[in-house]
Structure 1
């Protein structure tokens, strides 16, 4: 997720596998991510910038903020002066920082890595020499590089209609980014207050727990309103009105990805940061009078599956239980099943952690040449089971490069399931995947075997060895 300057100096990079990072830096210290601690630690920096440089910011994630530059740049004398002032303001908090300015949030974040200012209207030319990896779509990047397209500019030069036909919605979204277009320009003004949800505390709330509970209930009501209207918000502003007349607010990036529980957690962490900084004194006659959740930058909802069971809404008790299990056992402890693309039965199912978006790059619809047809197996083994397929003489049955069997199968033995005589079979069917990648290429053949004990198996042979991949009955 992130690495320190010392780790980067040793060759560690963002999104690198832990083992690879440890091989580059023997003294690397790996810690679990604590999002709540990140929010609390980053909040003073955001508040400092709001008070000294620009009044309203959007927190994309802890460590990354965005804001419209037009107004503040005029106040500070230009975009270069604004960028210098932002870096200096964070330097006052002993925080290293870099600032970038561009027409879109994506390009500005990329420009901030090197502290550059992209000229107005010059995003496409500025992005052109960058490698395709900056677009953040690994599968698309890999495919394009095999086609000889290795830079953002080369990808942007492709005809839009051809990109849509060949690479689908994900490809056309990356293509728009490569051309310097942005579907959701940064705008911290609310589109409308029609969907704002507010909770008034009577009497005034002096503890944070009731406010967090109200934030979750308000977030659920807000999501229901947005769903009924068929829209989704890009950002969410949480506003707290205090008894002494002051108002505190914070904007979060939402884009339909935050559940009601996630919204409540972010509100709690920001409230705690404000309390630690002395801005939120709930003692005595002070306290919280009102909490408001205001959606911003509304756009048409394109569909999102956040439930555990089908299209229905996740029951409250299931969501609460899942969150508790994830808190105790880890984020991967509770998952839901999503269909995906692939040829074998195990490839067509993905397990997605509860609360996450399904970001699987392989669509379930075809074409998938060599896909196993219906009926599908009843049991797919997490790990292949060793098997032996022998002929009438007891010799192992083999499959040639032209998919010819060495002899008719007579008996099948599967580890842990005994052996039985073969009653019938179908196949073999060849499967050749990732042939262009030496490390990931796989050449196998599948067969369906029915035995006299009433069982039916899906077998797979690879490098001359048989495995049981699934069971039909």
Structure 2
């Protein structure tokens, strides 16, 4: 492979949120920091840091949940501008990081340094900071872009040698190498290739190639692109973006099945749409791993929304999308994936495929995943998000949450509280005073639809006073745990003098 130029916009996920430059901001995904502003870094926040640790280091930290589709939309105008002014064909590694072959553009602009300067200047014309790097491989060029360096021809291995093995981006491999006394990329590159493949598997072998300055996915498998290209035609032309995004999942699934049948994988993927007025719009995505069905759908959705906002989909006469096409590029032999420990039979890819099939039959809302969040009550700590979508809803912070119910957690949390009655030995309702004192010991419990039972044990009450400053969302309740003589256990709440069954321990 020839020389590669990369362009990097520092902290692009933060910039895509539209926050002020001087504000301490962290963009998080799954309770880990994926990007942070300069002010947050100055306070000690770092990428891959757990959210709770980041908030402890920077109490005034503003936390923003990552929205990958929004980042794609924000990055797309930059890509189109660079294609018009610097070089005609770019690959998006991720929003904020791009790559392209450097041979042709460097000749046009008068050299590699001139190409890097022009790339940085063009991004600056979009009012964004940027750095550029050149090397023989995409990985080295992306790393060089962080410091704005040009790695000499054939010098990737020497340039990478002093870096710690953690830059390879494989945490488990990094931990293992450190235990073996291998701390730098150069030490890892010096290991015999055959020993690396036998000891660390295909993932370790790919990282070893990177450490030696060789592309991790060489073009060892050759086949016609048309053989694996998949497409979907819309009749009549589709004017809405959501149906096209939904179809992208099914089309991506077909692509993965074809590649798996041919025992190949692709490092690049081009997604394109043919419009009713005869125009074609496309975008190339690169990924050093495997672009899953969900990853393809997210990228297609983001770039379609960016084209729609820019008016590119409606620029011609007749409107609508008539065809969606996915072209795999840079095919290489599939080396397989290491199986899970303890005999698990299903891999993540199989779960994704099964979920996509169910959604294709029953609709996008039919499959959901669980996202854990903050909150004191069990219902507040769990969110159900449609499989394949980003969790864009309002999520409580991770904590701390004084008064949170400890384990064991209820087996069933009712979406609508069930009316309940808690009475004493005389049959009088049990009440709770403002100082959390019971009027009498509970003796009997009755929950609508679950009959009556004697109380065998109880704990509480515990007060919960939340958002007292908000009239609509403010709530003052007390909770109790009740163990019934029939073997059931309940979590009750009392609000405005009335008892409700909040959850059931079963």
Provide TM-score, normalisation by structure 2.
0.59
Shift of 1:94: 1.1
Shift of 1:249: 0.5
288, 297, 303: which is aligned to 1:270? 303
68, 77, 89: which is aligned to 2:101? 68
Shift of 1:59: 1.0
Q: What runs of 5+ residues in structure 1 fail to find an aligned partner?
A: 333-352, 356-381, 384-473
Partners of 2:130 and 2:224 in 1: CA distance: 31
Partners of 1:217 and 1:301 in 2: CA distance: 22
In the alignment, structure 1 residue 102 sits paired with structure 2 residue 135:
yes
141, 145, 152: which is aligned to 2:174? 141
Partners of 1:228 and 1:302 in 2: CA distance: 13
* Equivalent residue number for residue 371 of structure 2: 330
Partners of 2:252 and 2:241 in 1: CA distance: 16
Partners of 2:365 and 2:199 in 1: CA distance: 42
258, 261, 286: which is aligned to 1:225? 258
* Equivalent residue number for residue 357 of structure 2: 316
Partners of 1:265 and 1:299 in 2: CA distance: 24
SS at match of 1:280: helix
The 8 Å contact of residues 245 and 300 in structure 2, kept in 1 or not, is answered as: yes
The 8 Å contact of residues 267 and 290 in structure 2, kept in 1 or not, is answered as: no
Shift of 1:313: 5.0
Shift of 1:184: 2.5
* Equivalent residue number for residue 252 of structure 1: 285
Shift of 1:320: 8.1
Structure 1, 33-42 or 240-249: larger mean CA deviation: 240-249
In the alignment, structure 1 residue 26 sits paired with structure 2 residue 59:
yes
SS at match of 1:126: helix
Change (3 A) 1:329 1:179: same
Shift of 1:321: 8.0
The within-5 A match list for 1:276-295 is 276-281=309-314, 285-295=318-328
Q: CA RMSD in A?
A: 3.4
SS at match of 1:220: helix
Change (3 A) 1:256 1:179: closer
* Equivalent residue number for residue 347 of structure 1: none
Shift of 1:68: 0.8
Partners of 2:228 and 2:42 in 1: CA distance: 47
Change (3 A) 1:82 1:313: same
* Equivalent residue number for residue 194 of structure 2: 161
Partners of 2:206 and 2:125 in 1: CA distance: 39
The 8 Å contact of residues 190 and 297 in structure 1, kept in 2 or not, is answered as: no
Partners of 1:354 and 1:291 in 2: CA distance: 22
SS at match of 1:100: strand
Change (3 A) 1:82 1:142: same
The 8 Å contact of residues 242 and 289 in structure 1, kept in 2 or not, is answered as: yes
* Equivalent residue number for residue 44 of structure 2: 11
The 8 Å contact of residues 105 and 185 in structure 1, kept in 2 or not, is answered as: no
Partners of 1:64 and 1:292 in 2: CA distance: 24
User: Deviation per CA, 1:257-283, whole angstroms, max 9, x where unpaired?
Assistant: 344344233222211111101111179
Change (3 A) 1:321 1:18: farther
* Equivalent residue number for residue 174 of structure 1: 207
* Equivalent residue number for residue 42 of structure 1: 75
Partners of 1:248 and 1:239 in 2: CA distance: 5
The 8 Å contact of residues 205 and 282 in structure 1, kept in 2 or not, is answered as: no
Provide TM-score, normalisation by structure 1.
0.63
SS at match of 1:67: strand
Paired residues in the alignment total 336
Partners of 1:147 and 1:255 in 2: CA distance: 26
Shift of 1:133: 1.5
Query: Higher relative contact order by CA 8 Å / sep ≥ 6: 1 or 2?
Result: 2
User: Deviation per CA, 1:219-242, whole angstroms, max 9, x where unpaired?
Assistant: 233233223222222121111222
User: Deviation per CA, 1:361-393, whole angstroms, max 9, x where unpaired?
Assistant: xxxxxxxxxxxxxxxxxxxxx99xxxxxxxxxx
Change (3 A) 1:108 1:199: same
In the alignment, structure 1 residue 243 sits paired with structure 2 residue 276:
yes
Shift of 1:299: 1.8
Shift of 1:71: 0.9
The 8 Å contact of residues 230 and 326 in structure 2, kept in 1 or not, is answered as: yes
SS at match of 2:36: coil
Partners of 2:71 and 2:223 in 1: CA distance: 26
User: Deviation per CA, 1:194-253, whole angstroms, max 9, x where unpaired?
Assistant: 221223333333332343344333223323322322222212111122233322111123
Shift of 1:62: 1.1
Partners of 1:79 and 1:193 in 2: CA distance: 34
Change (3 A) 1:319 1:291: closer
